[in-house]
Amino acid sequence: MRPQNAEPMLPGFIRHLFPTVAGLPAGPLLTLSLRSLARRRPGLFERLGEYRSACFGIDPVDLAFAFRVVPDGQRSSVRVVSKDGTAGSDVLIRGPLLTLLSLLDGTLDGDAMFFGRIISISGRTEAVLALRNTIEDAELRPSDLLGLHGILARCVDTGVLGALGAVRRMADNSPSEAQKA
Amino acid sequence: MTTKRMELVCPAGTPATLRAAVQAGADSIYCGFRDETNARNFPGLNFSRDELAEGVRFAHDHGSKVLVAINTFARVDDVHIWKKAADMAAESGADAIIAADFAVLDHVARNHGQIRLHLSVQAAAATPEAIGFYAAQFGIRRVVLPRVLSLQEIAALNRAIDVETEAFVFGGLCVMIEGRCYLSSYATGKSPNLNGVCSPPEMVSYDEGPSGTTTRLSGFTIDRYGRGEPVGYPTLCKGKFKAGDKTSHLFEDPVSLNAGGMIAGLKAAGVTALKIEGRQRGKGYVSEVVRAFRKAVDAVEKGGESVDIDRLLAGQSEGARQTAGAYEKKWR
């Protein structure tokens, strides 16, 4: 059994597929996705209240890059930055990518991950809570970010979530960096 | 021993969590409005009037009940905020209001006789006399028991009262008597009793350093954790302090209550409902904990042994540790 605070890291070959330069296009694409989502579900950002204009640094520890996210409805922005580029964010959330994605889809509980030190936070704690609770209630699926509906949405959700599940299983079966150390 | 099937009462901080709790097998879900009228007033958490009405419809369609916590204490000149919350809860079709303040209890008893009144743990009512007073004055139908009573004390209490009792079985623990704790007020000027927040998040900071994490509340250092060491909630009662030449968790260790192995004992003690703490927690926690307790309660109701709930839920616990708390009280 995996120790409670062992980090389910991305398998090495996947990490090598995504150097910083490969992540750069993700910024504009995710910005467009968030803004489109805000147009389709304007109430979704309401729970953030005053924290919608806060800058959230998201640092997946098993990727070569990080993100700076301002979840401000139709003015949202996502930038791919270097690991040092999260400095100055109102909040910094660090953790393995698969764990962060599991928090996004509500599979895992943020407090439990925090208690176990699998994720760490620093900065404005109240903004982290607002973001966590907003994401929890949003019940986002991959198709929501892509603006898809109907059969196509179901196919994409099945495919993306299935692929993520496969990567999680690979991560569970491979020793983490923490375990190797 | 009560012959009625025990009710599993589960937390929900958002509409999505309410649906998750219902689908995981909750008999009742408790929640609150997005303001200071409830004891979990955190950013992004809780329900609007419309969300509550929709949540009540969803729960009722699936055979579950909704209990609305309006359990902080009203302020002079602002009582109307608490009264309005009670009115909205009653209009939503909710099954009960959980309250502690005399003003709220009185308002509901006088104006919303159709809705059940449950006495919140915040009232800290732990004697037949106190509970009898609330029953006689406001017609409360259930009391949520303070987490300071042993199984024997609960059994004795149930023999002496004629309202239902609800006991916490999982989640965060308060070392102080609920409703009377001033630790958070002392450090931050805000308290769960009046503002609905213990350790308001805007006053909590986690600072990462080379040797680990330092937790501060309103500038006071309350704990330091080495890398990989499990952490707890950033409350003063669970902080680590130096007294004499010894550094320790002076008031309480960062642990979660888990009375999963005591369900049969609680039933024998006459408890009507089992409560899971954690409106501030996410869907992952609620789904996992509710599912585990649903299985355990059903097993006990069928006369079987309780399932190994401790092992199932270790990962959801504060500080990754669990305790049976006062139910196995060995102190006085």
CATH number of the domain to which A103 belongs: 3.30.1050.10
CA pair distance B96, B107, nearest whole angstrom = 14
- Boundaries of domain holding A86: 12-180
B36 part of a folded domain: yes
Say if A128 is an interface residue toward chain B (CB within 8 Å): yes
DSSP state of B47: B
Q: What is the pLDDT of residue A14?
A: 66
Q: What is the pLDDT of residue A1?
A: 38
Contact A112 B285 (CB under 8 A): yes
Residues of A in contact with B44 (CB under 8 A): 47-49, 51, 129-134, 137
Q: What is the pLDDT of residue B160?
A: 97
CA distance B170 to chain A (A): 14
Residues of B in contact with A177 (CB under 8 A): none
User: How many whole angstroms from its chain centre is CA B46?
Assistant: 14
Q: Are residues B189 and B78 in the same domain?
A: no
Over 70: is that where the pLDDT of A177 sits? no
Show which residues on chain B lie within 8 Å of chain A, measured between beta carbons.
13-17, 20, 42-45, 200-202, 204-208, 213, 225, 227-232, 234, 280-285, 288, 314-320
Residues of B in contact with A125 (CB under 8 A): 201-202, 204-206, 234
- pLDDT grade, residue A156 (50/70/90)? confident
State pLDDT tens for residues B121-164. Answer: 999 999 999 999 999 999 999 999 998 899 999 999 999 999 99
Contact A116 B45 (CB under 8 A): no
Number of compact structural domains in chain A: 1
| pTM listed for this prediction | 0.89
Q: What is the pLDDT of residue B80?
A: 97
What are the backbone dihedrals phi and psi of residue B188, each rounded to the nearest 5 degrees, phi first?
-125, -15
Say if A112 is an interface residue toward chain B (CB within 8 Å): yes
Contact A129 B43 (CB under 8 A): yes
B178 part of a folded domain: no
Q: Are residues B119 and B235 in the same domain?
A: no
- Calculate the dihedral angle through the C-alpha atoms of B154, B25, A169, A178, rounding to the nearest 10 degrees: -30
- Give chain B's residues under pLDDT 50: 332
- Residue B217, strand partner residues: B204, B220
Q: What is the pLDDT of residue B317?
A: 65
- pLDDT grade, residue A47 (50/70/90)? very high
- Boundaries of domain holding B205: 183-248
CA pair distance A117, B203, nearest whole angstrom = 21
**In this prediction, what percent of chain A has a pLDDT beyond 90?**
43
A19 part of a folded domain: yes
Q: What is the mean pLDDT of chain A?
A: 84
A5 part of a folded domain: no
Q: Are residues B308 and B195 in the same domain?
A: no
CA pair distance B279, B299, nearest whole angstrom = 25
CA pair distance A88, B32, nearest whole angstrom = 35
Pick B142 or A42 by higher pLDDT: B142
Q: What is the pLDDT of residue A6?
A: 57
Give burial (CB, 10 Å; 0-12/13-18/19+) of A150. exposed
State pLDDT tens for residues A101-147. Answer: 888 877 888 888 888 889 999 999 999 999 999 999 998 888 887 77
Residue B144, domain CATH: 3.20.20.110
DSSP string, A74-127: GG-EEEEE-GGGGTT-SEEEEE-HHHHHHHHTTSS-HHHHHHTTSSEEEE-HHH
Over 50: is that where the pLDDT of A3 sits? no
CA distance A20 to chain B (A): 24
Q: What is the pLDDT of residue B2?
A: 59
Q: Are residues B26 and B110 in the same domain?
A: yes
A1 part of a folded domain: no
Q: What is the pLDDT of residue B212?
A: 84
